[in-house]
Amino acid sequence: MGKREVVESCMDNLMIEMVSAYCNQFYATKPELAARRIEAIGYHVGHQLSERYTMEHPRFSDHLEAIKFICKDFWSELFKKQIDNLKTNHRGTFVLQDNRFRWLTRMSISPTNTDLSQDSSITTIENKALQATSMYLYFPCGIIRGALSNLGIACAVSADMSNHPACSFVVRVKA
């Protein structure tokens, strides 16, 4: 029990520091590059994780089966729970919704966290807060993209956090 807590705490803190290092130190003036680097790291991690978790699995018959694998087995290995809701338009777009995304449960998006010395209209503060939080979503997006690409499905993944703490990942398969 204690070991799990240590591991999870290490992982949480590593995530926080990774985003902070890339956004504030390495690419402080270029947030898009920081986002791309973080997503690339996630890509590699997802690639290798899916290799490990599909060891005894038979080949997937179609895209939907692969996405269902991501929603159930893969997500439970990573976050100890499954994706809560999966929607698709049957034309290559899938929406995976997690109602309580583990890495973001402790984030309070209170507007007072951000710097109030500049103009303090509510929308700009909220925008800054949203921008800060969206940085933390690139890593899981990369994980999903890497896992799917290892299964042979090229795609683009984006995330949406408008109803915190629920978080949805939109997967668009490239035809």
Enumerate binding residues for other proteins (CB under 8 A).
9, 12-13, 15-16, 19-20, 106-110, 112-113, 129, 132-133, 136
Distance in Å, CB of 106 to other proteins, minimum: 5
Token pair recorded at residue 48: 């290798």
Written as one string, the DSSP assignment of 36-55 is HHHHHHHHHHHHHHHHHHTT
Nearest distance, CB of residue 70 and other proteins, angstroms: 24
Query: How far apart (Å, rounded) are the C-alpha atoms in residues 115 and 69?
Result: 42
How many Å apart are CA 150 and CA 169, to the nearest integer?
A: 18
Nearer to other proteins among residue 17 and residue 65 (C-beta)? 17
Nearer to other proteins (CB atom), residue 99 or residue 113 = 113
Integer Rg of the chain from CA: 17
Question: Minimum Å distance from CB 117 to other proteins?
Answer: 14
The smaller minimum CB distance to other proteins, of residues 57 and 100, is found at 100
